[in-house]
Amino acid sequence: MSSKEKIDIAKLPQHIAIIMDGNGRWAKQKGKVRVFGHQNGVKAVKETIEAAAELGINFVTLYAFSTENWSRPKYEVDALMQLLVKTINSETKTLNKNNIRLLAIGDLESLPKNCKKELMEAINSTSQNTRTTLVLALSYSSKWEIIDAVKQISLKVKNNEISIDDIDQNLFSSFLNTSSIPDPELLIRTSGEYRISNFLLWQIAYSELYFTEKLWPDFRKEDLYEAIVDFQSRERRFGKTS
Ligand code: FPP
């Protein structure tokens, strides 16, 4: 029985978040420069979205560029931004054909102008699509997002638009970049690293974590199916007893 056949379609996670890791090591293993790994990571991105859409997963969030990634060598940052522009440009048609909506979270103002422009155009062009939502985390870090929410809420308190007593989990969530997106039930990280790396810290409070040794450019549909099967074998208690 293949992993896909083992999936219980009635119990799919509605949101899967992925830390795509291992591009640099994948390239190094092949004696190539790191950017080669990122370029080959695009194939894994496409396979993952396609598999998720075929299964009927509502949201997929990909950690494509973290706030910390700005500290990488300039040539790598430039190459990643170019790759992003190129991929968004070439894939928007396919997203529309497959009824997939694109969203982005993160400090989008810090992106290069052409990158932000392409991104916004793709987001607008796909905004009516309903099958699956692909969320790109770009120039994103959870601590940045949380501080940003705290600042927005503080300003509202200062202007007497809300009172301190109004602040609860729901209100706080509504000031996060992910306000329109349900929390992920499943978080996947590739490349055998066991870290969260400043990704969706608030939102993964009760997510199931799945780690795989596969390096991101090698990640395929079958790997996503395996992660979902593993997720479905777990008992989610949310702090209660079984
Ligand atoms: C982590 O691998 C990966 C990234 C920082 C970038 C991910 C980008 C892509 C997969 C390409 C474009 C994406 C889209 C959505 C079009 P790493 O460089 O940290 O690898 P390492 O840990 O082996 O060094």
For 140-182, what is each residue's pLDDT tens digit?
Answer: 999 999 999 999 999 999 999 999 999 999 999 999 999 999 9
Among 36, 38, 199, which residue has the most ligand 1 atoms within 8 Å of its CB, making it the best to mutate?
Answer: 38
Instruction: Tell me what pLDDT residue 181 has.
Output: 98
Identify the residues whose C-beta falls under 6 Å from ligand 1. Answer: 20-25, 34, 38, 41-42, 45, 62, 64, 69, 83-84, 87, 136, 191, 216
Specify the CATH number of the domain 3-140+183-232: 3.40.1180.10
Q: Are 63 and 140 contacting, i.e. CB atoms less than 8 angstroms apart? A: yes
Instruction: Find the 205 Cα to ligand 1 centroid distance in Å.
Output: 24
Answer yes or no: are the C-beta atoms of 111 and 78 closer than 8 Å. no
Mean pLDDT of 223-236: 96
46-57 pLDDT tens trace: 999 999 999 999
Residue type, 72: R
Distances (CA, A) of 32 to 23, 24, 27, 69, 210: 11, 9, 5, 20, 28
Annotated domain spans of the chain? 3-140+183-232
Q: What spacing in Å lies between the alpha carbon of 23 and ligand 1's midpoint?
A: 5
**Residue 242 above 80 pLDDT?**
no
Active site residues: 21, 69
3-state SS class at 61: strand
pTM of the model: 0.96
Across the chain, mean pLDDT equals 97
Percent of the chain with pLDDT over 70: 100
Nearest to 131 by CA among 193, 207, 55, 45: 55
Q: d(Cα 134, Cα 100) in Å, to the nearest integer?
A: 7
For range 114-134, the mean pLDDT? 98
Query: How large is the average pLDDT for residues 36-53?
Result: 98
